[in-house]
Amino acid sequence: MPASSCARHVVFAVAPDLVLLDACGPVEAFWRAELAMRARRAQATPISADPCAYRVTLASVAGGVLPTFAGMPVVTERLDALDTATIDTLIVPGVPIDESTPLQPELVAWIAAAAPRARRVASVCTGAFYLAAAGLLDGRRATTHWRNAAQLARRFPRVNVDPEPIFVRDERDGRVVWTSAGVTAGIDLALALIEEDCGHAAAMHAARRLVVFMKRPGGQAQFSEALEAQSAAGGAFDTLHGWMAANLHTELSVERLAEEARMSPRTFARRYVEAVGRTPARTVAAMRVEAAAHALAQSRQSVKRIAADCGFGTEQNLRRAFERRYGVRPLDYRARFSAA
């Protein structure tokens, strides 16, 4: 990726069977930010005080053509060619990992040696296993793909694994380590890194060019409540769940939901619990809290307005539900995760 001479050097250290989107999603985000910075420099109206953007290197132990999990090969540089290179950000994307999957020892060793030279280190998805094997996650809070979180905790008990967030930023002892959930969460991670470096405008420009639906805060759960309910139901209530998500501001009683599902209330309540594993009321409550969290992070609407739009009725009802789910007050959540 060509860029200005002062551009931040982002190195992706990759293993065979690379999950392609773990790398190409963030690479594309950095490139979009670089294009935004170039355009602003050409107009003499820089997005931030620091006009530097990014240049990216994809590197593997052997270099050359690397097989990926999707079957599409990528061309990489040799990692040892970067032994004396300046590295701003070191990112390790994921590979398919199960209980018996060995980690590439040469890659682990290179990461351990190179990390102290980097301003920050990050992983996408199961790349966290490589950071952990290199000792970079000891005593730190970290995340990975929800399917691999328990395995990461078993394999590296010194890591404080949190399976919930989309990404985690852990800063201590003067070192910053980022970890993210799987696949598309790597784009969210990259946008957060861009915002930290170049400002909110550059990150939002990249997000718009990528046609990302929303710039998600790191504390958002990996699974949306609507998706989790749809997954559990096996498609049985997909249409209803979509309708519920669009009508949270209305009364969503069992009777109203049963009417929408064209069942009697008694039959609907029984079949819903059988399919989803929880009552309709619990799904509605979870969707409302999640929708409120999105609104707090993505808008400047008042808490009163959000409470009404999400079906809580009053600010007090929203505050109680929010504190039960997230352990913080709505305005504290906004202060931490706001992208508006």
Query: Lowest-pLDDT range, 58-72, 209-223, 229-243, 274-288?
Result: 209-223
Region 274-298 average pLDDT = 87
Spatial separation of the C-alpha atoms in residues 98 and 110, rounded to whole Å: 22
Whether residue 227 has pLDDT greater than 60: no
Q: What is the CATH number of the domain that holds 235?
A: 1.10.10.60
- What pLDDT, on a 0 to 100 scale, did the predictor assign at position 108? 97
Domain stop point among 150, 176, 209: 209
Residue 332, Cβ neighbours under 10 Å: how many? 14
- Calculate mean pLDDT across residues 182-210: 85
Rounded distance, CA 289 to CA 142, Å? Answer: 24
Does pTM top 0.85 for this prediction?
Answer: no
Residue 219 falls within a domain, yes or no? no
Q: pLDDT tens digit string along 142-167?
A: 999 988 999 999 999 999 999 888 89
Residue 335: its pLDDT value, please? 77
Token couple for 339: 């992208």
pLDDT of residue 228: 62
104 in the same domain as 12: yes
Is residue 176 assigned to a domain? yes
Q: What percentage of residues in the chain have a pLDDT greater than 70?
A: 85
Q: What is the DSSP letter of 134?
A: T
In a domain, 68, yes or no: yes
pLDDT of 109 reads 97
* Domain of residue 86, CATH code: 3.40.50.880
**310 catalytic per annotation:** no
93 in the same domain as 181:
yes
Q: 137 with 205, same domain? A: yes
**19 close to 68: Cβ distance less than 8 angstroms:** yes
Instruction: Please say if the pLDDT value at position 235 is more than 70.
Output: no
Mean pLDDT of the chain: 86
Percent of the chain whose predicted confidence (pLDDT) is above 90 = 56
**Domain membership of residue 284 as a residue range:** 225-337
Question: With bands split at pLDDT 50, 70 and 90, how would you rate the model's confidence at 205?
Answer: confident
Judge whether residue 122 has pLDDT over 70. yes
Per the domain annotation, does 3 fall within a domain?
Answer: no
Q: Are residues 129 and 251 in the same domain?
A: no
Pair (231, 190) in one structural domain: no
Residues 84 and 197 in one domain: yes
123 shares a domain with 17: yes
Domain co-membership, 191 together with 42 = yes
> Which one of the listed residues 24, 52, 125, 310 is annotated catalytic?
125
The three-point CA angle 313-319-323 to 5° equals 140
In DSSP terms, 141 is beta-bridged to 160
pLDDT of residue 49: 46
The upper half-sphere exposure of residue 100, i.e. CA atoms within 13 Å in the direction of its Cβ, equals 0
SS3 for 188? helix
Structural domain total, the chain: 2
Does 205 lie in the same domain as 229?
no
Q: What does the block give as tokens for 127?
A: 């790349």
> For 168-193, how does the pLDDT look when each residue is reduced to its tens digit (9 = 90+)?
999 988 899 999 998 888 998 998 89
SS3 for 58? strand
Are the C-beta atoms of 337 and 195 separated by less than 8 Å? Answer: no
Q: 209, 243, 269: which is the final residue of a domain?
A: 209
My answer on whether 176 and 85 are in the same domain is: yes
Residue 264 has pLDDT above 90, yes or no: yes
DSSP 165: B
Residue 2 has pLDDT above 50, yes or no: no
Residue 261 near residue 240 (C-beta atoms within 8 A): yes
Do 22 and 147 belong together in one domain? yes
Between the CA of residue 338 and those of 162, 218, 219, 294, what are the distances in Å?
21, 10, 11, 9
Among 155, 179, 209, identify where a domain stops: 209
pLDDT of residue 182: 85
With respect to residue 244, please indicate whether it lies within any of the assigned structural domains: yes
Identify the helix (H) or strand (E) that includes residue 80. Answer: none
Residues in the chain: 340
Looking at residue 124, the DSSP 8-state letter turns out to be E
In a domain, 184, yes or no: yes
Check whether residue 233 and residue 294 sit in a common domain: yes
